[in-house]
Amino acid sequence: MESLRKCGLGGLVPQRGDSSLVAPGHPVVARIVAWISPASVFTGPAFLLVAALFSVNLTLCSFHRLTTQLALPRAERRHGPDLLHVGLIVLIVGAAWSARSATENRYTLAEGEKASLPGGEILTLRVFSFERYPDGRPKSWSSRIDLDSKGARRISDFDLRVNRPIRFGGYALYQTGYDETPVVALRGSGLDLPETLLQGSRLTGELGSIVFMAPDPDAEPGTRRFVFLADAEGGRKVVRGGHRRSGR
Amino acid sequence: MTAIIAFWIIVAALVIQGAFLVLKTRKPDPLTPWLLIAAGALLLATTVARSVAISFVAITGVYESLIVLAGIASFALAAYRLRKGADASRAFLFGGTFIAFLFMALSSSPLAPSGIKPPVPALRSAWLVLHVACTFIGEALFACGFVAALLQLFSRDGERRASFDRLTYTLVAIGYPLFTAGALVFGAIWAEAAWGRWWSWDPKETWALVTWLAYTAYLHLRLIKRRQSPWLPLLVVAGFLLALFTFLGVNFLLPGLHSYA
């Protein structure tokens, strides 16, 4: 029953979240919520203790059932439940092993950017492509990646998609999300400027400053335009630029 | 169109069964199995036609899920009626057909838009077919088991109660391994391929586990108590209500990784 209660509680409250955000402005409620820890029910000691007891119980009962069945004449044996029980035990052992040994990292890359993996390998996002259905829902999105290890290219131009991860040298690489951040390409002769400016960023230089504000709400259908505020000696100007996408 | 015809066939079956329930005959009506088979075949045809239209198996939305559930329940009830012949329970058939009717009525509500839409990238996987198909067959049998458990609960006659107990147990015993394989095992394998985690304690996963625990408790309690416990049919009733919450309630109330399911 404890297990059911915990599952129910954890199933109602989003997990891995910040439980302090549940009742902002109400310190007493926030303290109670933090004590119950609804956002981490399944990694808390109470649930793990119940799960451990269940696992021991399951193992002992499965062993008892299997030995009882094996004592019966062959024609009377029913091994379906044994199969299910053994499968559950394997699942629990596997989950415990994964929880102890596996680590998870997230990298957000724009096209052309690189990330260094924990083993020193270099992950490069070559191209990110995205397609939509006519109604605007995502149709497909993929990241073409390279992976270099010890100075040699191990994976070249792999098409990483949802439901199509790649496994290499103990790693499993998944494409889990995407974001579109408008970026302006700054071009100007004689200016000591970085190549790009992300939305919301301000860049200050000798000639003044520029803030990338937002996508242009008045852009014509099918076009992508963005609004910038550029302050310089000549006054404030609106600048329009292109964009590129990033994946993670 | 085929789904609408199927809906009216189920309504016709329900009316005929209702009439036979109030008549002073003990035999079930002869039309029910054929009407249910016709409704099931039309719902299957609807799924096939929608699958052809989107070039993928059309079990990716609430509407499609509901008509699949109604179709499987119709086939299961027809199979029961044909197997049992004149001994088939009229009340069970009526209750089961009413559940299929409810699934169809829900499918025509605003909660289940019937527009044909190709799936988002996350759903484009062969695992979807195994995960969803096995889960739905299990849940459709749980729905029939729910009706049998209610009849068991309210039967005063000991023989009838024992008969409904056997029927409930049979339906749960067939549905349980399918639900286990579909909802938990295939779902976990697919989750590993899509998200890199076998299990994420997502609301849909958690409530599927709670549902599974309820039916697990039923099977073990029945094994231990040998039909003596009054909790047995109550557990099956609770199990189906949990399955409904997992299927519909979580979709509309609890956001998570399965928000499209």
C-alpha A110/C-alpha A178 separation (Å) is 10
Mean per-residue pLDDT, A43-68: 88
The residue range of the domain holding B62 is: 1-119
Contact residues, chain B to chain A, C-beta under 8 Å: 117-118, 120-122, 124-125, 127, 177, 180, 185, 188, 190, 193-196, 198-203, 206-207, 209-210, 213, 250, 254-256
- Domain regions of chain A by residue span: 2-101, 109-179, 183-247
As to burial, measured by CB atoms within 10 angstroms (0-12 exposed, 13-18 middle, 19+ buried), residue B160 is: middle
* Chain B contact present for A28, CB below 8 A: no
Mean pLDDT of chain A: 78
CA dihedral A204, A207, A209, A212 (to 10 degrees): -110
- Report the pLDDT value the prediction gives residue B208, as an integer from 0 to 100: 92
Nearest to B115 by CA among B168, B171, B58: B58
User: What is the rounded average pLDDT of the residues B116-132?
Assistant: 87
Domain boundary among B101, B119, B137: B119
Q: What pLDDT, on a 0 to 100 scale, did the predictor assign at position A20?
A: 53
Interface test with A, best of B206, B246, B257 (most A CBs within 10 A): B206
How many other C-beta atoms can be found within 10 angstroms of the C-beta atom of residue B59?
22
Question: Percent of chain A at pLDDT above 90?
Answer: 14
Please answer whether residues B227 and B165 qualify as being in contact, where contact means their C-beta atoms are separated by less than 8 angstroms. Answer: yes
pLDDT of residue A39: 60
Q: Are residues B81 and B162 in the same domain?
A: no
- What single-letter DSSP state applies at residue A182? -
Residue A169: partners with Cβ closer than 8 Å, 6 or more residues away: A119, A121, A149, A154
pLDDT value at B139 more than 90: yes
Is A115:A107 a contact under the CB 8 Å cutoff?
A: yes
Q: Are residues B56 and B166 in the same domain?
A: no
Average pLDDT over residues A64-72: 91
**What pLDDT is stored for residue B168 in this prediction?**
95
Dist CA A83 CA A77 (whole Å): 12
Q: How many residues does chain B have?
A: 261
Find, among A197, A192, A224, A193, the residue nearest to A213 by Cα: A197
- How many structural domains compose chain B? 2
B149 shares its domain with B29:
no
Q: Which residue has the tokens 């599952």?
A: A7
Report whether pLDDT(B68) > 90.
yes
Residue B135 confidence (pLDDT) above 80: yes
pLDDT the model gives residue B212: 94
- Rounded Cα distance between B231 and B244, Å, is 20
Phi, psi of A212 (to 5 degrees): -85, 110
Radius of gyration for chain B, computed over Cα atoms and rounded to the nearest angstrom: 18
Instruction: Answer with the residue of higher pLDDT: A149 or A40.
Output: A149
In a 13 Å sphere around the CA of A38, the CA atoms on its Cβ side amount to 19
What is the percent of chain B where pLDDT is above 90? 53
Per the model's pLDDT, the better-predicted residue between B201 and B96 turns out to be B96
pLDDT of residue A9: 56
Name which of B180, B210, B222, B241 to mutate to probe chain A: the one with the most chain A Cβ atoms within 10 A of its Cβ: B210
Query: Which range among A124-133, A227-236, B79-88 shows the weakest confidence by mean pLDDT?
Result: A227-236
Q: pLDDT band at B234, cuts 50/70/90?
A: very high
Q: Do B71 and B100 fall into the same domain?
A: yes
Interface touch A80/B177, C-beta < 8 Å = yes
Contacts of A222 (CB under 8 A, 6+ apart): none
Q: Are residues B179 and B88 in the same domain?
A: no
pLDDT at B120 over 70: yes
Q: What does pLDDT average to over chain B?
A: 88
Chain B nearest C-alpha distance from A49 (Å)? 17
Pair (B253, B129) in one structural domain: yes
Q: What is the pLDDT of residue B140?
A: 95
Q: Domain check: are B101 and B131 in the same one?
A: no
pLDDT higher at B211 or A207: B211
Same domain, B147 and B218: yes
Are residues B66 and B155 located together in one domain of the fold? Answer: no
What average pLDDT score do residues B85-94 get? 89
The mean per-residue pLDDT over the stretch A80-105 comes to 84
B138 and B228 in a common domain: yes
Please indicate, yes or no, whether residues B47 and B6 belong to a single structural domain of this protein: yes
In contact, B112 and B69? CB cutoff 8 Å: no
Strand, coil or helix: what is A162? coil
Q: Tell me the one-letter amino acid at A82.
A: D
Q: Which of A218-227, B88-97, B219-228 has the lowest mean pLDDT?
A: A218-227
Cβ–Cβ under 8 Å, residues A96 and A80? no
Helices B158-179 and B231-244 pack at an angle, to 10 degrees, of: 40
Q: What is the pLDDT of residues A176-216, one digit of tens each?
A: 888 776 666 666 545 555 566 777 778 777 778 878 787 77
C-alpha dist (Å) from residue A11 to A50, A88, B14, B19, B182: 17, 21, 37, 43, 20
Q: Measured between CB atoms, does A140 come within 8 Å of chain B?
A: yes
How large a percentage of chain B has pLDDT more than 70? Answer: 96
Q: Are B12 and B35 in contact (CB under 8 A)?
A: yes
Better pLDDT: B73 or A112: B73
Q: Is the pLDDT of residue B149 over 90?
A: yes
